[in-house]
């Protein structure tokens, strides 16, 4: 199968980036990815100061999908995610929600074996591989891979995993899909700025949708549909994700403004992806069974 090597990375999503591969809509592609430190950290004896911060959040790509044009939506089916056999975390003064109280930096390396990440002698945690950074090129300018936005990017959405389908609004010819920043584990919020950061590879199927319109990323899995939005202000991100879902429900079901709002108020789910990146990311979830019942 077609594969993009993890030496082919970008540090910003940009319509001016040269595509490393072109494929037709409907193709399956493997993205081999570095961890968010570009695999610079391999042991706990390393200092955080040894990290070259110019090489942070590399995203493998970009992939040009033939036929994708501004105004379309790129459907990204996540077929498989495999991860390396150890992951890395860091505590860094000034970074994250507790950063003002972190007095010394620390690297933590967690071995991963048989689907379990070893936190310490007493605790191993079952891993759930997810994609932290995945997005398309914006219409103009360069957005660092460390930032989320309406193009996707560093959403750190732990619903972005095997079996999920991500829908990204296309802004540039060919979409220019890139991804990286896999996590073996990441909690809602990612409060210390790292999840369990891990190298790996992602198999996706990419398809161009001409009849779907979106302002922001959406995601679905077996049970739920999610809208995803990012903003400097978390409440504004929540509001944008909520409005996106509200509009979707009205369009799909024919419910009135008030009825759709009451439905989301009764049965919707306001959730947080991350609260530590340059913009904060929220998602709004709704059961697909509810949508099916109303269609
Ligand atoms: Ca991230
Ligand atoms: Ca990360």
**Helices marked H in 223-282 — which ranges?**
234-253, 257-267
CB 159, CB 221: distance < 8 Å: yes
Q: Which ligand is nearest to the CA of 135?
A: 1
Q: Which two tokens stand for residue 256?
A: 């009135």
What is the number of alpha carbons within 13 Å of residue 99 lying toward its C-beta?
14
Alpha carbon distance 295, 267 (integer Å): 16
Q: Which ligand is nearest to the CA of 89?
A: 2
Q: Which ligand is nearest to the CA of 147?
A: 1
Measure 46 CA to ligand 1 centroid, in angstroms: 21
Alpha carbon distance 217, 73 (integer Å): 9
Q: Which ligand is nearest to the CA of 34?
A: 2
Measure 156 CA to ligand 1 centroid, in angstroms: 5
CATH of 2-209, one of 2.60.120.580, 2.60.120.20, 2.40.440.10, 3.40.50.1010: 2.60.120.580
Alpha carbon distance 40, 55 (integer Å): 9
pTM, full prediction: 0.97
Spans of all domains in the chain:
2-209, 223-294
Alpha carbon distance 87, 43 (integer Å): 10
CATH of 223-294, one of 3.30.43.10, 3.20.10.10, 3.40.50.300, 3.10.28.20: 3.10.28.20
pLDDT in tens, the chain (295 residues): 899 999 999 999 999 999 999 999 999 999 999 999 999 999 999 988 889 999 999 999 999 999 999 999 999 999 999 999 999 999 999 999 999 999 999 999 999 999 999 999 999 999 999 999 999 999 999 999 999 999 999 999 999 999 999 999 999 999 999 999 999 999 999 999 999 999 999 999 999 999 999 999 999 999 999 999 999 999 999 999 999 999 999 999 999 999 999 999 999 999 999 999 999 999 999 999 999 999 8
Tell me which residue has tokens 């309406």: 150
The H or E element that residue 294 is part of is helix 288-294
Measure 149 CA to ligand 2 centroid, in angstroms: 16
What integer pLDDT is reported at residue 117 of this predicted model? Answer: 98
What's the residue count for the chain? 295
3-state secondary structure (DSSP) of residue 113: strand
Give the CA distances from residue 36 to residues 169, 183, 264, in Å, rounded to whole numbers and listed in that order: 24, 9, 35
User: Assign residue 198 a region: left if phi > 0, alpha if psi is -120 to 50, beta otherwise?
Assistant: beta
Alpha carbon distance 171, 150 (integer Å): 10
Q: Which ligand is nearest to the CA of 134?
A: 1
Residue 90's nearest CA partner among 200, 198, 192 is: 192
Residue by residue, DSSP assigns 17-41 as SPPSEEE-TTEEEEEEE--TTTT--
What integer pLDDT is reported at residue 1 of this predicted model? Answer: 81
Measure 218 CA to ligand 2 centroid, in angstroms: 20
Where does 150-237 show beta strands of DSSP type E?
A: 152-154, 165-169, 175-185, 196-197, 200-209, 218-220, 224-231
């Amino acid at each position: 199968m077609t594969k993009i090597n993890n030496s082919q990375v970008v540090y910003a999503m940009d319509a001016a980036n040269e595509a490393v591969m072109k494929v037709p809509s409907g193709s399956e592609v493997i993205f081999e990815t570095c961890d968010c430190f570009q695999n610079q950290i391999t042991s706990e004896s390393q200092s955080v100061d040894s990290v070259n911060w110019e090489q942070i959040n590399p995203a493998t790509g970009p992939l040009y999908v033939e036929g994708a044009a501004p105004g379309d939506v790129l459907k990204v089916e996540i077929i498989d995610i495999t991860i390396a056999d150890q992951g890395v975390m860091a505590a860094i003064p000034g970074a994250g929600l507790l950063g003002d109280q972190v007095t010394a930096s620390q690297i933590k390396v967690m071995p991963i074996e048989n689907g379990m990440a070893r936190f310490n002698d007493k605790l191993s945690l079952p891993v759930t591989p997810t994609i932290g950074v995945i997005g398309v090129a914006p219409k103009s300018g360069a957005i660092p891979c460390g930032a989320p936005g309406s193009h996707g990017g560093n959403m750190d959405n732990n619903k972005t995993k095997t079996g999920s389908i991500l829908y990204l609004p296309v802004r540039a010819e060919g979409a220019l899909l890139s991804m990286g920043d896999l996590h073996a584990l990441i909690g809602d919020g990612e409060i210390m700025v790292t999840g369990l950061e891990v190298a790996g590879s992602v198999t996706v199927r990419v398809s161009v949708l001409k009849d779907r319109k979106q302002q922001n990323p959406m995601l679905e899995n077996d049970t739920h549909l999610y809208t995803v939005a990012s903003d400097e202000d978390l409440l504004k991100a929540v509001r944008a994700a909520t409005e996106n879902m509200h509009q979707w429900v009205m369009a799909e079901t024919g419910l009135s403004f008030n009825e759709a709002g009451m439905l989301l108020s009764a049965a919707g789910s306001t959730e947080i992806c991350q609260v530590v990146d340059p913009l904060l990311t929220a998602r709004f979830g709704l059961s697909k069974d509810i949508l099916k019942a109303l269609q």
